[in-house]
Amino acid sequence: MQALLQQSRVAWVERMINQREGILAVQTLRNQIMAATFFASTAILLIIGTLTLSAQGDKLVATWSLLSPFGVIHERVWLAKLMFLLVDLLMAFGFFAQVIRLLSHVSMLVSVPSATIEIRQVAVLMLQAGRYNTRGVRCYYYAFPLLFWLFGPIFFVGATIALVVLMLKLHRAPKREGQPDAQQLGV
């Protein structure tokens, strides 16, 4: 799937610069920047929520211990779990901030004539933005097992297994009839 997305991003940049499709470029980049802004803002809200939980750890440990099949959860363990969640969300925010930064650069460069700048340079920025977007979304995905970890290790393992199965299903390009699969293409 990633190889397909990379090829399409490079082809998109080439088309936008060579065929001078300004309105399409602006709309596409605006939509991507808005999506990254939404995810970054949501990460900040989740970070604030996690910090609020960590500040009230002594009160919440007793409540969460009632829900845990393993009995009492020590406050330090609770805080360590919240810190892992916090780091994951901070990474998601950082990745989405990079997406916004790189796409802002692409939005300026895509309007420059190809005689002035190499299309390859703009495509590299677009590819980097795509990679950061993928990493940010993966941080969001991984927040679910970390959230389930607050209930106990069995929930963490179950959520992690479910996430791996989901990722295996989601990260494969759709296969058309007669189309070779990734192994046949050498990808």
Give the count of domains, the chain: 1
Structure tokens at 42: 């949501």
Tokens 């901070």 sit on residue: 90
98 found inside a domain:
yes
166 found inside a domain:
no
State which residues form the domain around 124.
2-139
152 found inside a domain:
no
Distance CA 6, CA 124 (A): 10
38 found inside a domain:
yes
Model pLDDT, residue 133: 93
E strands in the chain: none
Query: What pTM does this model have?
Result: 0.79
Mean pLDDT, all residues of the chain: 82
Q: Is the pLDDT of residue 83 over 90?
A: yes
Model pLDDT, residue 43: 95
90 found inside a domain:
yes
Distance CA 16, CA 113 (A): 10
Is the model more confident about 134 or about 181? 134
18 found inside a domain:
yes
Q: Is the pLDDT of residue 176 over 60?
A: yes
Q: Is the dihedral of CA 132, 123, 175, 28 positive or negative?
A: positive
In this prediction, residue 169 has a pLDDT band, given cuts at 50, 70 and 90, of confident
